[in-house]
Amino acid sequence: MAAIPKPEELANISFRPPGRKWMDTKPEFKEGTHCHAAAPKWLEWLDYPFPRSWSTYDEDWKLPKNWKEIFLVGFNDRLNKYRSLRLFMDICVRCGACADKCQFFLGTGDPKNMPVLRAELMRSLYRRYHTTAGKILGRLAGARELTEDVVKELYYYLYQCSECRRCSAFCPYGIDMADITILGRELLSSIGLGIEWAMASVGSCFKIGSHIGSPPHAFKDMLEFFADECEVVTGIRPRVPVNEKGHEILFIMPSGDYFADPGTFNCMGYLLLFEYLDLDYTISTFAAEGGNFGYFISHEMGKRLNAKFYAEAKRLGVKWILGGECGHMWRVINQYMDTWNGPADFLEEPVSPITGTKFENAKSTKMVHICEFTADLIKHGKLNLDPSRNAHIVLTFHDSCNPARAMGLLEEPRYIIKNVLPPGHFYEMPENTIREKNFCCGSGSGFNADEYLPIRLRGGFPRASAVRYVHEKYGVNHVGMICAIDRAVFPPLMDYWVPGVDITGIHELVGNALVFPGERERVVDLRKRPLKGKEKEAEKFLEEVM
């Protein structure tokens, strides 16, 4: 792996573009600057076009013989299918309002990471092949020929856009770079160009059941392990209903929540909450993945993975679906699922069995976000919470891009946080870096790959810089978040930029604070860290259980 420079060097960023015109510069495929090529195995699993071994470091990317035709036919097809694409190609005035809104531009200083220029990479092709001025005037009209170099450039920069939509919030016409990126990636994948991390996840999810490729029995085994862990800490062993028919609710979470820390603690939080409520629910091994890396490759692939949700809800005979904490998963559920795979007329309008609240905002999709569900429980006083068990945590909240800008889930998690933390333990980051103006973690949309860490750290710098601010000012020691990719990628990001800051999901905090009748006296949190004021008891307890 490429050596990673010190923070001081990495933060030394210049926003001055080079002297050479952008059409004359080419990206260099050095180590650490891009994601590696997808292995043929995953493409075969997906029946995806042109599986072959190839490498980004080679001059020859082994494109199919008529790649140009496929690309251009596909482009034309999408211009006729997506008003967004046609409109966004036509109306940009290059005012530059988006330029310094992208975390990848702020973190790398590479001018092609300005959303306007990233879009121009595609727009220049649109002009060349779909406008008269572009056909006649060529470069003077901002048009250029589609060549292998252009394709490589698209691969480089469309996979340096995390589809966070921050630029779209600032654009006077609402041009959505995420949409252009998705469609551009579709075209790349139609000629056999994909990134390993995303394709491996998609292949595994499609064939086996989740991005991490855990077979159904292994998935169940992991959940049982978390239930055991819950029992050690709380004395209560939550039920783990898997693939059981006839329950009221199907619960779907992102695989990040059962794959690695700190997501796993969040999963323990879910299990404890459901046990506390004696919720009539089941988990599925087939719809075992809430996340949807398919959406990072093409709309079609997104739909293929998402289709499982309703099919499994139908098979298991549930009434409605509850979804875990995840970012892009919720963009897909909120903006695509019903359109792709609905109508879900075999399900019922979701009603909280505990509070009786009708989730009218989800009456068609029939899927509720767990933060909506839990906030409602707290509001109605259905949870006995002891915030002092989170007293060792001073938290700031990282809005995840998709729940913020493709949904508007802003207050629900904050409401939960304020109820599970002692007063004075929650601090917001600076106003221009939260809510609809939040910064991406720098690894969204399929970038978790290790080989990509240098760029991820750069893309995450604006977010980290804001965390640094509250860390210094208020002693914040945890960042809370409702996104599984965030929980996976924040630890290395924080270790690099703001060491000493830990990551937590919101339902982990709920799990800590939840007081069960008949539970054992809690001396440690779900991570087995001593609670404040219980250090001695915790030491004894840990000796016993370890």
Whole-number Å distance between alpha carbons of 47 and 199: 12
If the CB atoms of residues 10 and 39 are measured against other proteins, the closer one turns out to be 10
Q: What is the enclosing helix (H) or strand (E) of 320?
A: strand 320-323
| H/E stretch holding 190 | helix 177-190
Nearer residue to other proteins within complex by CB, 120 or 196: 120
Three-state secondary-structure class, residue 413: helix
CB 172 within 8 Å of CB 84:
no
Helix 506-513 vs helix 370-379: crossing angle, to nearest 10:
30
The two three-digit tokens of residue 520, written as one number: 């054992």
Helix/strand/coil (H/E/C) assignment for every residue in 24-40: HCCCCCCCCCCCCECCH
Least distance in angstroms from the C-beta of 524 to other proteins: 29
Rounded to a whole number of angstroms, the minimum distance from the CB of residue 192 to other proteins is: 10
Of residues 243 and 388, the one with the C-beta less far from other proteins: 243
What backbone phi and psi angles, to 5 degrees, belong to 37? -70, 145
* Comparison of 168 and 448: residue with beta carbon closer to other proteins: 168
Q: Cβ atoms within 10 A of the Cβ of 517, count?
A: 7
Q: Which of 490, 496, 462 is nearest to 478 (CA)?
A: 490
Nearer to other proteins, 2 or 93 (CB): 93
Nearest distance from C-beta of residue 86 to other proteins, angstroms = 5
Closest CB to other proteins among 137 and 515?
A: 137
The minimum distance between CB 257 and other proteins, in angstroms, equals: 19
Nearer to other proteins, 366 or 534 (CB): 366
| CB-CB contact of 349 with 359 (8 Å) | yes
* Residue 152 beta carbon to other proteins: minimum distance, rounded to whole angstroms: 20
Least Å distance, CB 223 to other proteins, is 11
Of 110, 48, 149, 67, the C-alpha closest to 454 is 110
Residue 251: its H or E element: strand 249-252
Q: Which token pair is 366? A: 């029939």
Sequence-ordered alpha helix ranges (H) in 147-176:
148-158, 166-170
* Residue 49 CB, nearest approach to other proteins (Å): 6
Minimum distance, C-beta of residue 494 to other proteins, in the bound complex (Å): 13
Nearer to other proteins, 1 or 91 (CB): 91
Eight-class DSSP state of 428: P
Q: Burial of 8 by CB count in 10 Å (0-12 exposed, 13-18 middle, 19+ buried)?
A: exposed
